[in-house]
Amino acid sequence: MKIPLVEPGTIGPCPVAPDALQGITRQQTNPARWNGAGWQDFVAALRAADVELVESVVACGVYATDAGGTAYGMPHGVVIARDAGQVSRLLKTAQACRVPVTVRGGGLTTEGESVAFGGVLLDMSGMSRVLTIDANALTVRTEAGIYWHSLAEELRRENLDYLSAPLNLTSSVGGTLGVGGIDVNSARLGCSADQAVSLQVVTPTGEIVECSDTENSELFQRVILGYGQFGVITEATLRIRPYTPLAMHYYYYSSLRAAIEDLQMLDRNDASDYSGILTIMDCAVNLLVAFDSDEREAAFRKHWESRLRGHGEFGFALCMLGHYAVRPWKLGEALYLLQRKQAVFPEFRRPEYLRAGKMHDRSVVFSRAVWKHWGSRQMVIPDLATSADKFIAAVERGNAICRKYFRHYTLYCVGIKLRPEHKPHYEMSCIPPDADGWAYGCEFEPMIEGEVYSRDHFQAFKNAIYDIGVDLGASYYRFGGMMKGYIRRVFGDAVVDRHLALKRRADPAMILNRDVIF
């Protein structure tokens, strides 16, 4: 897309996707925008409580949209989180004045959940320091606004690493613990939310509470995977591990079904430390398998590698050559594949991240590639999470939807190991209720490729994917892709009403992250 030049001091083209009806001045995209009643009284009360609030366009403009780039909304003012006491004073005042507070970590949601449609935007990135690292107990205590990547930078100084985090450098710990957090090692280690040992939470009424599985466990269960409904996570204690570089292997498939079956076979047998699927096209599928140690890699080679049906890069290139040689009318497709391979593959082999054949700093490699080759001002990534046996159906149906709406798209599939003792956390979350052992997530990512699509086009696409979830009784592997309108359809009235009653009790004025779930 050609983005026109703009002079500083003038408002440029709106950064979010256009409406289908062109030529209409941008409106906030959420019709339920808070109307600002009593704002000035609130501002005065906040100042009296010694909480700094910024109202300038310079401060508010940063938050006009989220990574999805289809929601648009402006807060009335911004508070940069500095400590739990300040967050507590903010929430107490907001509760009394009935002013909505939207919490933002990395802002990587795609449905506008971290966009404030009026009220206060609480930016957690101001609380982003590591507090203590316990190398013996293998835990870290950190402020929750920290980006996973910044946490990794600190841990690496002690040759340590986090367990699992989104393949995305700028998602925050607090934002992720509330939504899930899936990594390519989640089939073995579970989601990021499973790594939390304890949290400091500021409740919607402003109490500062420490919680864990043994202390204030009910609050802990609701806040983990709770989409920011039951409190602001201000600090977290997380499990960590010694750092290891990875031995990566890539297998290429022309059948998505075969690749998924092999992925699930590896997961069931604990055959690898990392596993996931990334597609370039439906007929060009990459199964990624990686290992933390030489022993695990050797065991895989001995017992499991021969059972995989994928090819090496050279073998797959020959297959594709044969495939397209007899289908000359598909030359365009072949060229796209080649061009994509040439652009993306070197990204995963940059010499500065490879030492003695091992990949160092995988999250940097993956995340930079994601933003460079898939990122744009619109990132529409609806996803589905299902039980293992429904997964192939979900993916194949989702693929058919992608084909209908976009020329090219990518799929990213990964397993999520479930922890039976965490069942209470999983209720009404990204983990589908019928999953046992593992859940599987697939995200459907259209390639925008410089095209301009209207918000309505994106929305229709997302609805069609979510409809599959409703139909299959699935969930959504993170709420970065789920819309409020689907919550009741997915989880049913009984569960949602129970959670709503809990929310009303915890947040009488319904100020915290409202309109996201309820």
User: How near is the Cβ of 53 to another protein at its closest, in Å?
Assistant: 13
341 vs 348: CA distance, rounded Å = 11
Interface residue with another protein among 4, 31, 332, 357 (CB under 8 A) is 4
Q: Which stretch binds ligand FAD (CB under 6 A): 21-29, 106-114, 241-249, 315-323?
A: 106-114
Spatial distance between the Cα atoms of 137 and 181, rounded to a whole number of angstroms: 23
We find the least distance from the C-beta atom of residue 371 to ligand FAD, in angstroms, to be 6
- What does the block give as tokens for 88? 């507590």
Helix 362-373 crosses helix 148-156 at what angle (to 10 degrees)?
A: 150
What track of x and - describes contact with ligand FAD for positions 167 through 206 (by CB under 6 A)?
xx--xx-xxx-xxxxx------------------------
Q: Which of 73, 228, 433, 446 binds ligand FAD (CB under 6 A)?
A: 228
Residue 118 binds ligand FAD (CB under 6 A)? no
Does position 149 interact with ligand FAD (CB under 6 A)? The reply is no
Binding partner of residue 73 among ligand FAD, another protein, none, CB cut-off 5 to 8 Å per kind: none
The interface partner of residue 287, options being ligand FAD, another protein, none and the CB cut-off 5 to 8 Å by kind, is none
65 or 272, CB closer to ligand FAD? 65
291 three-state secondary structure: strand
Phi–psi pair at 198, nearest 5 degrees? -155, 160
95 binds, among another protein, ligand FAD, none (CB under 5 to 8 A by kind): none
4 binds, among another protein, ligand FAD, none (CB under 5 to 8 A by kind): another protein
CA 302 from centroid of its chain's CA atoms: 35
Residue 158 or residue 218: which is nearer to another protein going by CB?
A: 158
Q: Which of 443, 416, 442, 410 is nearest to 285 (CA)?
A: 410
Give the other-Cβ count within 10 Å of 11's Cβ.
9
Number of neighbouring beta carbons within 10 Å of residue 308: 21
Per-residue DSSP letters for 391-425?
HHHHHHHHHHHHHHH-S-EEEEEEEEE--GGGHHH
Q: Given the rule CB under 8 A, which of 125-133, 392-400, 403-411, 468-476 is the region that contacts another protein?
A: 125-133
**Host H or E run for residue 212:** strand 208-212
Q: In what order do the strands lie in the sheet with 77-80?
A: 77-80, 120-123, 101-104
Q: Where are the beta strands (DSSP E) in 307-448?
A: 354-355, 358-359, 383-387, 409-417, 438-446
235 binds another protein (CB under 8 A): no
CA dist list (Å): 76 to 73, 109, 444, 509: 10, 20, 34, 18
The CA distances from residue 138 to 181, 239, 241, 296, in Å, are 20, 6, 6, 22
Rank residues 169 and 260 by Cβ distance to ligand FAD and give the closer one. Answer: 169
Sheet architecture: strand order including 247-253 = 247-253, 284-291, 274-281, 409-417, 438-446, 383-387
Q: How far is the CB of 153 from another protein (least distance, A)?
A: 6
**Candidates 39-47, 88-96, 123-131, 177-185 — which segment interacts with another protein by CB under 8 A?**
123-131
Site stretch for another protein (CB under 8 A), options 12-20, 179-187, 451-459, 464-472: 12-20
Query: Contact residues for another protein (CB under 8 A)?
Result: 3-6, 8-13, 15, 54, 56-62, 64-67, 69, 80, 106-107, 123, 125-128, 147, 149-150, 152-154, 156-159, 169-170, 351-353, 361, 364, 367-368, 371-372, 375-377, 379, 450
Binding region for ligand FAD (CB under 6 A): 67, 102-110, 113-114, 124, 144, 166-168, 171-172, 174-176, 178-182, 227-228, 232-233, 370, 379, 478, 480, 513, 516
